[in-house]
Structure 1
Amino acid sequence: MAFFLQASNWGLQTFLGRCFLFQPASTCQKSLALMVHLLSRDQVKGLPFTTSSQSAVPQDLKGVHMLHKSRSGSRDGKKEKRKERSREEDKEKSLMSPFSAGAAKQRSVSQQTPTSMRLPRLSKKDDIQPPEKPLNAEEWQEWRTRLEHLTDFENVMLHQMIKYESSIDVAKSLMADVVLRNGEVKYNLLLGYLILCVQQKQVAEIFDIYDIMKLRFKTLDPGGYSLLIRGLSDTERWREAILLLKEIRKVTPPSKGNYGYCIKGALNNQDVQLALEVYHEMVAENVMPPLDVLQAFFDTCKGTQDDKLKKELLDMLLCFRENQVYPNEALMQSIKLWFESVPGEKWTGRLTSIENGWGCPVCNQVLETIELSKKEYNILKKKIMKNVMQGSDIFKKTTPQELKRFQDFMENHLPYDIVIDGLNIAGSVSRIGGYNVLFDVVSYFAQQNLRLLVLGRKHLKDFQSWKWNAMTAMQGKVDFFFTENISQDDPFLVYATLHSGNHSKFVTRDLLRDHKACLPESIQQLFFKWQRGHQLMPFSSRTKKISFAPILSYDTVVQTTGDTWHIPYDDHLVERYSYEVPRKWLCLQRK
């Protein structure tokens, strides 16, 4: 590589000779982070940096009475069509579990679109369109004079070149000008140039920068290693990316992307054994491989007759199960084709959906139940008490006295069939309207001769005296427990349901994500499984009949009987939030 104008005769050695001093690697991280932030989201995708995004969570149904009457007597056809659409939506809501993919979108009244992280932007005056062709020293000086307000002209200009994907020759001319002016190229500027080279897959340039860095530095910062791994993994020097993976461990644990690029480099060159070694190392570090890396395994190993390799791939599917990972459609299709390609096994894959029944409509195989085993149930009860009710600071959620009062109450009143989050249900609309909604929910279950517990804070006590005659008629079926107004009542909801037994269900619109987060990571999936099997969620209906989304009877995880595999996967047309599970399945059957 040489940073020079095309008309120049300076080569790599001339450039290196003038670069007497590079900045230490430790000083470059802030500049490199800024450079990544200046990239658009699409440009960053695929580069070895971690960016974050927040998905707007759909709002709970607020301001909508569940027994709200539909307006009659529409004055025009448009209103009639809207009514018809509403009825269809209500019908679909009633058939969908609150944890099914796409349910949040459908039940949300004021639909919110997930927003990506807004990356820092230059001010308008600094959002510069870079030159479209290489410049000489005089021309670059004219740019500096015109933009004299910029305190770091070279870095800003290189940032803009990355943003606008400028020609590599334009960037070379800037780097050559820096050498002429300063006699050196600082580390962060060199890394910026490397970003542009990786972005545009300028293989020869990546090789040269790598060779420069090997000569100049014993170790690099994580950003430098990651860029080189990304850049080298798809070239004939892919094995050197794996050597860099070992080097990066001296600085920081390798990222998912670091491992992934090395694995794909090995698979692209048919070295499956080396790819598996890196994969096992990755899993041992509790890093789940990206879906495209797993897809590369199934694509590369189609038609294999190696029993050990077949077992490795089947173990990957069981890893999906253990970590509650769901393939996207591309990976699902690769898995299907791999099964169907195994010589002599005669696998057939078909796509299906499984709604509220127990069995697969394709092969009639009964799926695993959503109910927890006795052992799982007891583990969850203990963890809820330790991590959710008490946590690191019991006073954050309640007081020792209130907790003792609640435990004594539960001992004297267990078990309950239904536990209701009174404040959550009543708080969805105005005070009187909220009491109407809560009363309707309580009445719905009381009429089924179920024992109910309504939990709330003290300011909900007015509800007890409201519609007094009706509430009196329910005595013996409905109990109330009120916490202090400053206490969190959700932990009491979870505790009461768990301690009432595996048959008990709870009613709330809250998805309890904060409480799930309080649990150890190994228990969070257990909690989510229990939640999906026990939470009843009322939805807004335009009829007088109260409705609850159904609880699915089966568990949405990868499962097998040996001669069948059932793999839930993400439909690319459905937006699934993290607390939802897919609705589509791949059914694989060996005949």
Structure 2
Amino acid sequence: MAFFRPTSFSGLQTLGKYPMFWPVPRCQRLFAVIFHLPNRKHVKCFPFTTTSQSAIPVDPKVTHMLSTKTRSKGRDGEEKEGRARGDTSSPHPFSLFSAGAAKRRSKNQEELLMISKKNGIRPPEKPLSVAEWEELRGEFKGISKFEDIMLEQMIKCNSSIDVAKSLLSMVAMRKGDISYNLLVKYLALCVRQEQMAEVYDVYDIMKVRFKTLETGAYSLLIKGLSGSNRWREALSLLEEIKKVMTPSKGNYGDCIKGALNNQEINLACELYHEMLAKGLIPNLDTLQVVFDTGKCVKDDQLNSELLGILLYLRENQLYPGEALMQSIKLWFESIPGEKWEGHLTTIKNSGKCPVCNQNLEAIHLSQEEYNALKEKIIKDVIQGTDTFRKTTPQELEEFQNFVGNHSPYDIVIDGLNVANVSKKRNQSQTLLDVVFHLAQQNVRLLVLGRKHMLTGSHSWKRHMVAAMQKKADFFFAENVSEDDPFLLYATLHSGSHCKFLTRDLLRDHKACLPDSLTRHLFFKWQRGHQMVLSHYWPGKRITFQPILTYDTVVQTTGDTWHIPYDDQLVERYSYEVPTKWLCLQRK
């Protein structure tokens, strides 16, 4: 039901301190807000003036925090930061990099949350009259953002649209206008509840009141419209965003869903490839819609795209969640004449699938891959400019000469990292236990340490350090030097058989690598070569986590597919890999 309509041809006014950017036709200069309240015998109309302003699109990371309520959150944990500005009552553009912007964002959001918690503002269960709202507002004197907080709580509680309308009716009566901020929040509630008539009305109003919108409103409108009969208008909004910035993966995903829901396969594929070309990683729910469409629409182009999505997951080391995994399974089993069967399983360290007896791909790099990775790490990590913030060219050269004269090694040990694994044990004793344990395996060891380990102290007993030096080579770097570049260099220089021992995940060094392919190779090499001390009972037991022999990526032999997926009950960090697999076999 519409709640705005033109009622007059009076002159255009200016709202607050922000001037209008450009005029609009006279017939669009004045509106009335109309709220249809349940259990009321009449409709209340409140005229108000508006200002034609432009809300310039800004980076999605600074869109309004309420608009993010309807947007998905990726597994990697990427949060959409809220849009913030000094005066939230108007869509006045601001720079993310303006002095004080970060502080203002933090202060505004903390203030809203603190006020809400302190005063216990909760939305009513039924619509209130203007007088009733004024009475409730009077109970929270001194809160200038009562309406904002109340609408936020309505979104959080998923309140009835009629309750929100009754609040806006009070605002229109008291202020004579509905601010942009409140309008966007009301839109968020409408989109969340799929109240399409209201979404249409808000959209039509915004088209008249504002020439452009900020990305929070654009994203909400795209999400709302893409699932409706007016889905093509979402494509127009996507084009508007492109004029200023790169749309988000959520924007593309919503438009792709709209196209697929209306059997526009070619258009959906074009949008998908356009998104990839911009370097955006699709949301998993977007890919799920594509596979769900494939079950119902038998189209050769779509089938080809779906196989391409699986290869995309492989190349980018992406893992589907359980919902997407089930959609993939059902799509394979629905392919006419191919007789695919899918089973869920786990893979033992042997690397053999217990369902089909197929051996998974080995995690070891080919010699060509190993050489390429070694060259990249030496160039971008070890010899990169960041290294010399924690060491010197002279020390690095000394270490390289040391390794050249003493390698190859079988295991390179991050001495301080291992020494600190137990808080109940002396550092030198802990490292001594581990070095002696490994030395029993008749392997060549290199321990990376610091010069303070030689001075003699409570933590570092001279006789223990001397005993270790009889079992392993030691290189003592300056106390301020960083161990990791030395660890990587010595391991790679010793050859593909060499392992390294540390609990450090080396994420900073992975990030220094120049492209996704090299980072993929690094992560694969790391998982196949890193030893981690899992259990250490002083004087009793030392055990290491097993190093996987197979690669945890989507893989196929033609007649089989093996797809690792995320168990919804297990929280996985970005540097970990799934343990559950979908085995697909063509009978």
Q: Where does 1:297-336 land on structure 2 (aligned, <5 Å)?
A: 297-302=290-295, 305-336=298-329
Letter in 2 for 1:401: Q
Q: For residue 590 of structure 1, what is the aligned residue in structure 2?
A: 586
1:19 to 49, 64, 77: 49
| 2:113 pairs with 1:121 | yes
2:519 to 515, 524, 539: 524
Q: For residue 569 of structure 2, what is the aligned residue in structure 1?
A: 573
- Shift in Å, 1:19: 3.4
Q: For residue 374 of structure 2, what is the aligned residue in structure 1?
A: 381
In 2, Cα distance between equivalents of 1:565 and 1:119: 52
> RMSD value over aligned CA atoms?
3.0
Cα 1:464–1:24 shift into 2, 3 Å: same
Q: Specify the SS of the correspondent of 1:372.
A: coil
Q: Where does 1:479-518 land on structure 2 (aligned, <5 Å)?
A: 479-518=473-512
* 1:346/1:590 contact within 8 Å kept: yes
Deviations 1:169-214 (A, max 9, x none): 2221222233333332221121111112112221111000011112
1:537 to 513, 518, 532: 532
* 1:233/1:241 contact within 8 Å kept: yes
1:51 to 79, 87, 99: 79
Q: For residue 295 of structure 1, what is the aligned residue in structure 2?
A: 288
Q: Which has the higher contact order (CA 8 A, sep 6+)?
A: 1
Q: Specify the SS of the correspondent of 2:534.
A: coil
Cα 1:440–1:284 shift into 2, 3 Å: same
Cα 1:236–1:397 shift into 2, 3 Å: same
* 2:57/2:212 contact within 8 Å kept: no
In 2, Cα distance between equivalents of 1:125 and 1:464: 56
1:339 to 332, 354, 359: 332
Letter in 1 for 2:560: T
In 2, Cα distance between equivalents of 1:270 and 1:158: 37
In 2, Cα distance between equivalents of 1:556 and 1:537: 18
In 2, Cα distance between equivalents of 1:562 and 1:34: 47
Q: Which stretch shifts more, 424-433 or 188-197?
A: 424-433
| 2:348 pairs with 1:358 | no
Q: Where does 1:193-204 land on structure 2 (aligned, <5 Å)?
A: 193-204=186-197
- Shift in Å, 1:313: 0.8
* 2:52/2:210 contact within 8 Å kept: no
Deviations 1:517-543 (A, max 9, x none): 222341222111110000011121558
Q: Structure 1 unaligned segments of length 5 or more: list them.
A: 54-116
* 1:388/1:519 contact within 8 Å kept: yes
Letter in 2 for 1:135: L
Q: For residue 463 of structure 2, what is the aligned residue in structure 1?
A: 466
| 2:557 pairs with 1:561 | yes
- Shift in Å, 1:33: 5.4
Q: Where does 1:393-404 land on structure 2 (aligned, <5 Å)?
A: 393-404=386-397
TM-score, reference length from structure 2: 0.81
* 2:57/2:241 contact within 8 Å kept: no
Deviations 1:78-105 (A, max 9, x none): xxxxxxxxxxxxxxxxxxxxxxxxxxxx
In 1, Cα distance between equivalents of 2:298 and 2:155: 46
Q: For residue 24 of structure 2, what is the aligned residue in structure 1?
A: none
In 2, Cα distance between equivalents of 1:506 and 1:47: 35
* 2:63/2:214 contact within 8 Å kept: no
Letter in 1 for 2:584: L
- Shift in Å, 1:140: 3.2
Letter in 2 for 1:529: K
TM-score, reference length from structure 1: 0.81
In 2, Cα distance between equivalents of 1:27 and 1:50: 20
| 2:544 pairs with 1:552 | no
- Shift in Å, 1:122: 2.9
| 2:410 pairs with 1:414 | no
- Shift in Å, 1:502: 0.7
Deviations 1:23-70 (A, max 9, x none): 54259999x956529x9xxx55649997369xxxxxxxxxxxxxxxxx
Q: For residue 111 of structure 1, what is the aligned residue in structure 2?
A: none
Q: Where does 1:65-84 land on structure 2 (aligned, <5 Å)?
A: none
Letter in 2 for 1:588: L
Q: Where does 1:438-449 land on structure 2 (aligned, <5 Å)?
A: 438-449=431-442
Letter in 2 for 1:122: M
Letter in 2 for 1:274: L
Q: Specify the SS of the correspondent of 1:429.
A: coil
| 2:244 pairs with 1:251 | yes
Cα 1:169–1:29 shift into 2, 3 Å: farther
| 2:210 pairs with 1:182 | no
Letter in 1 for 2:285: D
Q: Structure 2 unaligned segments of length 5 or more: list them.
A: 4-33, 82-108
In 1, Cα distance between equivalents of 2:489 and 2:329: 42
In 2, Cα distance between equivalents of 1:532 and 1:26: 46
Letter in 2 for 1:379: A
* 1:564/1:589 contact within 8 Å kept: yes
